Structure 1
């Protein structure tokens, strides 16, 4: 399990502190992630159930709250610098003895990579979810997961499949910065949903010469690149199959002419015979770690 400079990659323990300070620093790192490092001493898994130890060595009690109907985007595309926020909705069911309208009751979604008890990484929202009371024991909640790639939230190895979880915490009048954890209720559940966190992709195309005589050779070049979260740059996506497509002027759909593989630097190059005025593009189908993308069209005038 990793500990980042800006994100403490812990389990339910991080979630507890995550909701303790619902605010965001100017550098993009939410305050709760900083607080997590201060108040969480460690995590442990016992009998398959997550527990935490706090500053006073106490344990929070199990809060009578469960989660269902967790919905998150199928894929989340993250570049190198821009803050990305994805909306999550879920249903929260609770015992009649749990006051979810209390000022110090908080709930929120999160995403985690790897095993629930020992995740490789976790992503939370800058603020807790907003929950709307439906009945005296149910509420519908809407929250966000915020991602800041330029502040170390992700590494390249994090790309791919993630799972969703949710948390609820009742402070019961405790000081949120230094609570007696034995008086705090905590519900933390993983495996509620799934998504892909993907490295943002870029695709270019250039067909030349322009114009060209009918029957002559057109050379179509391009490059497929994707975000590197390790160093905040874009690099070529190597050895990937990309379709060269063409649409005649006045047409409404592209036709695949051939499939080309990117080289060791992510570059593409192939040739075709000029037949008619039209548009060329490269189309990448995507992978679990990198989203599908089509280049913009490049028009060639055939004389």
Structure 2
């Protein structure tokens, strides 16, 4: 009986080892191993600029016998047709704990993985846990997250203007270009808000919403009636991060 149990355990480990690669096409569970939670970047979207950054993923799993290994992979596309993958720098285990939360680290490298901006947007996480007794679980899509291109927003306005005169505030939106390692103009038609903060106040009020031009620039005119700060606020999209410009103070005389 002991030999039979050991053989089953070994079989379970071998089976899961085969599943923990892109050849698998379905979730698989052996025994009472259970992956109960997968959290990427503390639940926040991942924002990537023009240099490499690390991302953490916490995988929580339970099994009375503890674990030999817990691991995960980030990927873009469907599980059976991945066009970019990022493996963890190292797996977790072994551990005797019946409930284990494994913190895995991944390095995203612009120009490599991901290769370019077409890979921004929805990403997924596959995960597996191999228990000490040979039980195991593999999930094709244990979690999802948004990978967004970093955003820079600029602003420019005159230092001073006469009371009641027209004031023009310009600016521009740029997003990280992963293929070139630079920041490039945002696509045309992206809404950006012109906001104003009265001198001595802490909150901003939205004055106008305009769309980016083909070169990513924005411009709006308002009448100047009081001293204060102007800024541009970009809400972001599923594939680009939100951002606000610095404040530009205008003295009204």
Report the Cα distance in structure 2 between the residues aligned to 1:133 and 1:146, rounded to whole angstroms: 28
Q: Which residue of 1 aligns with 2:10?
A: none
Q: State the TM-score, normalized to the length of structure 1.
A: 0.68
More RCO (CA 8 Å, sep 6+): 2
SS in 2 for 1:204: strand
The answer to which structure has the higher strand fraction is 2
Q: How does 1:94-113 map to 2 (within 5 A)?
A: 94=63, 96=65, 100=67, 105-113=68-76
Q: How does 1:1-303 map to 2 (within 5 A)?
A: 43=23, 45=25, 48=26, 65-72=33-40, 73-81=43-51, 83-94=52-63, 96=65, 100=67, 105-129=68-92, 133-135=96-98, 138-168=99-129, 188-208=138-158, 210-238=159-187, 239-303=189-253
Structure 1, unaligned runs of 5 or more = 1-11, 17-41, 51-61, 171-183
Report the Cα distance in structure 2 between the residues aligned to 1:264 and 1:194, rounded to whole angstroms: 32
RMSD between superposed Cα atoms in Å: 3.0
Q: Which residue of 2 aligns with 1:53?
A: none
Structure 2, unaligned runs of 5 or more = 1-16
How many residue pairs align between the two structures? 234
Query: Are 1:242 and 1:261, in contact at CA under 8 Å, matched by a contact in 2?
Result: yes
- Structure 1 segments, 4+ long, off by >4 Å, are 12-16, 62-65, 130-133, 184-187
Query: Are 2:127 and 2:141, in contact at CA under 8 Å, matched by a contact in 1?
Result: no
Distance change (3 Å), C-alpha of 1:132 and 1:242 = farther
Structure 1 residue 151, shift from structure 2 partner: 3.7
Offset from partner CA, 1:239-272 (integer Å, 9 cap, x none): 1110000000001211111111110010111211
Structure 1 residue 131, shift from structure 2 partner: 7.2
